[in-house]
Copies of this chain bind each other. A is one copy, B any other.
């Protein structure tokens, strides 16, 4: 009994909703087992979630084994939604999102002409508000994924490379203010909560709940995109972002003492050795400056000609050293690769696994499976998770206002 406090409600409500949300409890009896409670409790909990309009209990047979079939638990088709948003180098993505990790209607907008913090955040808020007004479902909050580190708990953004935002911009506060001013329609909560976080962290959360990280207890995600290499760690279902939100800045791990110079001052950082530029450099090619670099690099990683394969092998070896270094420090039980690293994994899975295994201390005990990311629009899905978070902790919050 961890401070139940009369205003808190049933403690099992949150864990139960999370299990249904992540598809781990498709039936009432599965929920009973997963929560390790009596059937009576599971019944009370599902009844309450149904009363909150979050789930539906289907009494039709679920088929299968002996005994009375268990009722299927489904997320309510007309339940509440949240707004998920993401700012990236190419533009802004927004979508409504229901429980279950599904994006209802992902929308991709170009960047507005002015990308100063207030105007860009206003554009995000207004795009999200438009979706909320256009839906007949109740809207409960908004989550925003940003392409830069976000400090905790104050929510300032550091080093927004693409937009020239000053380091320390109080994005959380600015965004909350723009949300407050936006017209969210009659279906929205009066005190409309907003939250921001880093996109790599949110992608890891999305993979853990709905993708390649399901069931993992120590999940490491490493991604390579426009902004360089990013990492994120999910421990026991919760993001580990360090003491100030700045953990898993893995881009400057040394992976090649004789490598290319990095702006950080060192040589051979994971960033400068495994990003799109590094792949082109390894292939002795120059990308077409008229086309997006990232897409060209992904194509190059998938190419089958010997020169491309050799370049992939070269970069994969360095990626492997970086992953082994991280595995020795963090000892994850799974590594999920995303972005360009996903293509590198697809192009040379055995080679990557071999390099990591060779450098992993403690041999078999330290070995870790490396798998490709599965979630489309993981940043957006993660932003939705962020917006859902308060309700996954305490589902009774959906009934307030």
Contact = CB atoms under 8 A, between A and B. Distances in A.
19 contacts: A1-B12, A2-B2, A2-B11, A151-B365, A167-B362, A242-B330, A243-B333, A244-B331, A244-B365, A246-B362, A248-B329, A249-B329, A249-B331, A249-B362, A252-B361, A254-B255, A257-B266, A264-B359, A329-B329
Given A328-B249, A331-B244, A36 B3 contact: yes
A213 interface: no
A158 interface: yes
A53 interface: no
A244 B328 CA distance: 11
Q: Is the interface of A mostly helix, strand, loop or mixed?
A: loop
A241 interface: yes
A59 interface: no
A234 to B, nearest CB: 12
A240 B235 contact: yes
9 residue pairs, one from A and one from B, having the closest CB atoms: A242-B331, A257-B257, A243-B333, A247-B331, A218-B243, A254-B254, A1-B1, A249-B328, A246-B331
Contacts of A168: 365
Q: Which of A158, A245, A250, A326 has the most C-beta atoms of chain B within 10 angstroms of its own C-beta?
A: A158
A217 interface: yes
Nearest to A154: B365
B332 A243 contact: yes
B362 A149 contact: yes
Question: How many copies make up the complex?
Answer: 2
A244 B1 contact: no
A143 B11 CA distance: 34
B331 A241 contact: yes
Given A4-B1, A218-B242, A235-B240, A247 B365 contact: no
A390 to B, nearest CB: 19
Interface string A220-242: 00000000000100010000111
A211 interface: no
Given A1-B4, A267-B257, A268-B257, A361 B329 contact: no
A247 to B, nearest CB: 4
